[in-house]
Amino acid sequence: MSTADQSPAARRRGRRPAGQDTRAALLTAARDVFAESGYEGATVRAIAARAGVDAAMVNHWFGGKEGLFAQAVLKLPFDPQIMVTTLLEGGLDGLGARVVRQFVTTWDATSGGTFPALVRSLASHDQAAAGLRDFLVKHILGHIVDRIQADEPHLRTNLCASQLIGIGMARYVAKFDPFASADVETLVAAIGPTLQRYLTGDLGLTDQP
């Protein structure tokens, strides 16, 4: 059978000749599908179909949906699972400082990346809010809290998320000075202990009657 006789579906199956073109097509398709369906509603199959490639290409290039969301929407230059493992390697002591340092350093490298646009869309686009919440809470902070087996895991995770989103808002969106221009280690020293308490400390909760 000649190439001309192949169906469109057959022609687009498998890896494209130019690998980077496949990767770029997946990123473009992912941004659209995540925007339309949110993180939970978007499927690897739907994204691959939109890009015109096999679903296996998502794992090949990004390691799965988490990695694709990180690079397509949040544009995080790291694999979430690897980052969680790296942050926990130093043990519980200083974990809050390491989390703050990791996020601020990463965002600073791209002047906030897509974070400002993502945050600005939170109030008016449910998908953006759901995507940020699901990714940050469930797939990064949630994994950290689960791994350290802390009490009140859901509350701790949300407290940490509120702190990190607040950093992003003040530093890259509202650009409050001197917060926006402070060096990373100044923020780590000031905010790290708060995040550490959220992760491992006493939250001051009292038993309800």
Encode pLDDT of 55-103 as tens digits.
999 999 999 888 887 777 766 556 778 888 888 998 999 999 999 998 8
What is the average per-residue pLDDT within 141-149?
92
Structure tokens at 67: 């990695």
Question: pLDDT for 17-37, tens place per residue?
Answer: 457 699 999 998 988 887 677
Is pLDDT larger for residue 12 or for residue 79?
79
Which SS3 state, helix, strand or coil, does residue 206 take? coil
Instruction: Please report the pLDDT score of residue 69 as a whole number.
Output: 78
The pTM assigned to this predicted structure is: 0.65
* Cα 113 off chain centre by: 12
* C-beta pairs of 182-190 under 8 Å, 24+ apart in sequence: 184/101, 184/104, 184/105, 184/108, 185/101, 187/100, 187/104, 188/97, 188/100, 188/101, 188/104, 189/97
Provide the pLDDT confidence category of residue 13 given band limits of 50, 70 and 90: very low
Phi, psi of 169 (to 5 degrees): -60, -50
Say whether pLDDT at 1 is over 50: no
Q: Which two tokens stand for residue 112?
A: 């906030």
Helix (H, G, I), strand (E, B) or coil at 176: coil
pLDDT number for residue 8: 40
Indicate if the pLDDT at residue 204 is higher than 50: yes
- pLDDT band with cut points at 50, 70 and 90 for residue 44: very high
What's the confidence (pLDDT) of residue 5? 42
> According to the model, what pLDDT value does residue 116 have?
61
Distance CA 34, CA 127 (A): 7
* Chain segment 167-192, per-residue pLDDT in tens: 988 998 888 999 999 999 999 999 99
Report pLDDT digits (tens) over 48-59: 999 999 999 999
